[in-house]
A and B are shown apart, each in its own frame.
Chain A
Amino acid sequence: MTNRLKSTRSITRKVDRVKNLAFIIAMVLLVTTLLLDIFVIEMIFDLLTYLYIALGLLFVRYGIPLLYASRRLIQYYWQRAIKNKLAVGGLVFILLLILLAFIGPLFTVDPTAVNFDEKNLPPLGFTIEESVYKIETKQFITSRITGTSEHPLGTDDKGRDLLAMIVSGTRVSLQVGLFATGIAIILGTLIGVSAAYLGGKTDNILMRFTDIMMTFPFFLLLVFIVFIFGPNLALIVIVIGLTGWTGTARLIRSESLSLRTREFVMASKALGASDRRIILSHLIPNVISLIIVIATLSIPGVILAEAALSFIGLGDPSVASWGMILKAGQQNLDTTWWVAVAPGIMLFLTVLAFNFLGDGLRDAFDPRSNI
């Protein structure tokens, strides 16, 4: 009996070791490529891609096992969540959006192709009057322009296809939302759980640090850093991630505080498990549902923050996010309204979908919580 238990444990340990080794090797490889990229060969990937790969690896190593370990709990909450129709609607919309981001570009034209002869085309089914300057006669002529099926959503003032821009912007907005939230959640969880579990001085220092971070006005800090170091999507993602973890840390800490003294934690401590092991396999799995809810509810804020940055002229000029399209279209809302309306509606629906989903999950998890 005890022997069998021991052998299972040693197998688990071995598997763990292999996993760890694979993870470390992958990380080392990634960092080497990054260094090579920076110092020797230029631009294998851009900075953001490295960030994505790193986050992906972290997710595979820690996220999937965690989700798997707490599958019963998640299943239970899931059953409760799908009762909420708005949440299900939100989820379906988000899944469609992800699908659009990945396969959409295959069906649309090049979103960066400029064509001044086809500028300001209205969406299909609309007709507008536009005054056009003709150099031959040096005169303005008013002509009627009708939308074409080639550009179902119309074109912007550079003749770029709006549908294609919206589709490529989907990927950008989702990336920003998911990855910035990813960074913030990881940081917040680690800091919150460590503070709760380790207690004492560590708790004190971590929470004082959180206090200081919290007193900085978030958007002011974001604008400040992006202004100083120049608008760049990777920077924007990282800064939102690095500044947005404070709320998560506090919530996770207070949630884990009660777990710290529970029997199963005490038991594994008595059995000699390491702090790291207890945090990873006992504490975090028990707050995972809370983490999922916080993550879902943070994404819309992040997407809107990126759009707001674009609006005040601090968006990454090399990336056509919804915010950037919206900003460009905003100036001509009275004439070529569709350029601002299309990304505005997409932004609105996406944020709404995440909010509904998050709200549904929260309700399922604990209807009385105030996240």
Chain B
Amino acid sequence: MKKTWLRDYIIKRLLYAIFIAWAVLTVTFVMVRVGPTSPADKYLSNLAAQGQDTSQVMAAIEARYGVDRPIYEQYLNYITNLGRGDWGWSLSTSMSVMELIKAHWIYSFQLIFLSSIFAAIIGILIGIYSAVRQYSKTDYIATFFSFIGISIPNFWLGVMLILLFSVNLGLFKTYYDTSLSLLSLANLKQLILPVITLGTGMLAGYTRYTRSAMLENLRKDFVKTARAKGLPERTVIGKHVFRNAVLPLVTIIMFDLGSIVFGGAYLTEIIFGIPGLGQISFNAIFADDYAVVVAVTVISAFLILMINLITDITYTYLDPRIRYD
């Protein structure tokens, strides 16, 4: 009984996700291709800067970049290729779009994943602490520190950290070295500064979330009961309050991961020279490389929708009171 209901629900949500992804694709495609800039612009302005007369080759270059045909034809062509699983060829990096994304997603993912863990651990600890002592001096200090992170422009913080720790103290390399194996300790070490830079920006969210979830649960009857039973405070907080507060936190972490894989870590990537998807996507924008821009937007949209779906399903399993119609 429950199974068929769940299956229908998932199918419905999947169809909906496909619809949204298609809408995002179309909007992005039209925006990239209708805007006043053209993929051939960068190429032609490079030529002009070298003192080459571009007027003779302009038409040829536009033909090479496939932008000489009418927009609906380009769109149909794109959709047909997509139907065959071909995401196109990135002209600004000379690679197929899928290969490009496959080669670079891991750099963004590891950075964002570690930053989330870093921010979640510290954020949750601060959150619990300040919820337990609401409105006390320690609550203020905790809030103060978690907000410092969100208030420092992270590109500024990144450069400061490099100058201090890499140049003056010589503790780290000044840039991210892709030749180190991803699972090695050295790789973990070189991610310390980027993770701090990105993680401090995410910290406040977790603190805030934990604090409010804890406060909500602290007022519940079962806490009072537990306390009345004479259980030690540590057990009450850890077992009763935190366990109930942690569920929504999982959602928030998941959502963070999904929404910033593409682009969210861009500034951090630039500063530390990490060749992640942020750099790939933004350089594609600047080069008007529409195949990459469209692919990145659509995939990230789809990812966000899938994460929403998964969290919703997890919720139904973990919390039987929730039902979807």
Binding site for B on A (CB under 8 A): 83, 85-86, 208, 211-212, 214-217, 219-220, 223-225, 227-229, 300, 304, 307-308, 311-312, 326, 330, 333-334, 340, 344, 347-349, 351-352, 355-356, 359, 367-370
Known: A217-B300, A367-B215. A229 touches B35 (CB 8 A): yes
User: Judging by beta carbons under 8 Å apart, are B31 and A228 in contact?
Assistant: yes
User: Judging by beta carbons under 8 Å apart, are A220 and B204 in contact?
Assistant: no
Q: Does B155 contact A (CB under 8 A)?
A: yes
On chain A, the residues within 8 Å of B31 by CB distance are: 224-225, 228
On chain A, the residues within 8 Å of B300 by CB distance are: 215, 217, 220
Rounded to whole Å, the gap between the CB of B285 and the closest CB of chain A is: 5
Contact of B150 among A300, A311, A368 (CB under 8 A): A300
User: Judging by beta carbons under 8 Å apart, are B208 and A359 in contact?
Assistant: yes
Closest to A323 in B: B153
User: Judging by beta carbons under 8 Å apart, are B151 and A355 in contact?
Assistant: yes
Contact of B305 among A215, A220, A312, A359 (CB under 8 A): A215
User: Judging by beta carbons under 8 Å apart, are B208 and A333 in contact?
Assistant: no
Q: Mark B193-212, 1 if CB is under 8 A from A, else 0.
A: 00000000000100011001
Report how far A340 CA is from B264 CA in the complex, Å.
Answer: 23
Contact of B282 among A212, A223, A229, A349 (CB under 8 A): A223
Stretch of B66-74, B86-94, B118-126, B139-147 lying at the A interface: B139-147
Report how far A300 CA is from B143 CA in the complex, Å.
Answer: 16
User: Judging by beta carbons under 8 Å apart, are B282 and A217 in contact?
Assistant: no
On chain B, the residues within 8 Å of A326 by CB distance are: 153, 156
A-B contact count (CB 8 A): 115
User: Judging by beta carbons under 8 Å apart, are B296 and A220 in contact?
Assistant: yes
On chain B, the residues within 8 Å of A225 by CB distance are: 31
Report how far A216 CA is from B298 CA in the complex, Å.
Answer: 8
User: Judging by beta carbons under 8 Å apart, are B267 and A312 in contact?
Assistant: yes
Report how far A36 CA is from B286 CA in the complex, Å.
Answer: 35
Rounded to whole Å, the gap between the CB of A293 and the closest CB of chain B is: 12
Q: Point out which of B21, B147, B204 has the most chain A C-beta atoms below 10 A from its C-beta.
A: B147
User: Judging by beta carbons under 8 Å apart, are A312 and B282 in contact?
Assistant: yes
On chain A, the residues within 8 Å of B270 by CB distance are: 312
User: Judging by beta carbons under 8 Å apart, are B153 and A333 in contact?
Assistant: no
Rounded to whole Å, the gap between the CB of B15 and the closest CB of chain A is: 13
Known: A224-B293, A227-B285. A219 touches B20 (CB 8 A): no
User: Judging by beta carbons under 8 Å apart, are B156 and A344 in contact?
Assistant: yes
User: Judging by beta carbons under 8 Å apart, are A330 and B296 in contact?
Assistant: no
Contact of A215 among B24, B140, B150, B212 (CB under 8 A): B24
Closest to B305 in A: A215
User: How many residues from B make CB contacts under 8 Å with A?
Assistant: 53
Report how far A326 CA is from B159 CA in the complex, Å.
Answer: 12
Contact of B212 among A300, A330, A368 (CB under 8 A): A368
Report how far A56 CA is from B49 CA in the complex, Å.
Answer: 46
On chain B, the residues within 8 Å of A208 by CB distance are: 20
Rounded to whole Å, the gap between the CB of B250 and the closest CB of chain A is: 14
Known: A219-B264, A359-B208, A369-B212. A211 touches B153 (CB 8 A): no
Residues of chain B from 103 to 153 with CB closer than 8 A to chain A in the complex: 134-135, 140, 143-144, 147-148, 150-153
Q: Does B39 contact A (CB under 8 A)?
A: no
Rounded to whole Å, the gap between the CB of A83 and the closest CB of chain B is: 8
Known: A215-B304, A215-B305, A224-B31. A355 touches B204 (CB 8 A): yes
User: Judging by beta carbons under 8 Å apart, are B155 and A308 in contact?
Assistant: yes
User: Judging by beta carbons under 8 Å apart, are B20 and A211 in contact?
Assistant: yes
User: Judging by beta carbons under 8 Å apart, are B301 and A86 in contact?
Assistant: no
User: Judging by beta carbons under 8 Å apart, are A308 and B267 in contact?
Assistant: yes
Report how far A304 CA is from B204 CA in the complex, Å.
Answer: 15
Contact of A368 among B215, B266, B267 (CB under 8 A): B215
A sample of 29 cross-chain residue pairs with beta-carbon separation below 8 angstroms, ordered by A number, consists of A86-B144, A212-B24, A214-B304, A215-B21, A215-B24, A215-B304, A217-B263, A217-B297, A217-B300, A220-B282, A223-B285, A224-B31, A224-B32, A227-B285, A228-B31, A228-B35, A228-B36, A300-B151, A304-B153, A312-B266, A334-B167, A340-B156, A344-B153, A351-B150, A352-B147, A355-B150, A356-B143, A359-B143, A368-B216
Residues of chain B from 256 to 273 with CB closer than 8 A to chain A in the complex: 259, 262-264, 266-267, 270
Contact of A347 among B21, B153, B282 (CB under 8 A): B153
Rounded to whole Å, the gap between the CB of A102 and the closest CB of chain B is: 24
User: Judging by beta carbons under 8 Å apart, are A212 and B20 in contact?
Assistant: yes
Contact of B151 among A312, A334, A352, A369 (CB under 8 A): A352
Q: Which 9 A-B pairs have the closest CB atoms?
A: A215-B301, A228-B35, A351-B151, A352-B151, A220-B263, A368-B216, A217-B263, A344-B156, A355-B147
Report how far A145 CA is from B216 CA in the complex, Å.
Answer: 59
User: Judging by beta carbons under 8 Å apart, are A217 and B262 in contact?
Assistant: yes
Rounded to whole Å, the gap between the CB of A193 and the closest CB of chain B is: 24
Report how far A349 CA is from B151 CA in the complex, Å.
Answer: 8
On chain A, the residues within 8 Å of B140 by CB distance are: 85-86
Closest to B36 in A: A228
Closest to A308 in B: B267
Q: Does B47 contact A (CB under 8 A)?
A: no
Known: A227-B285, A348-B151, A368-B212. A215 touches B263 (CB 8 A): no
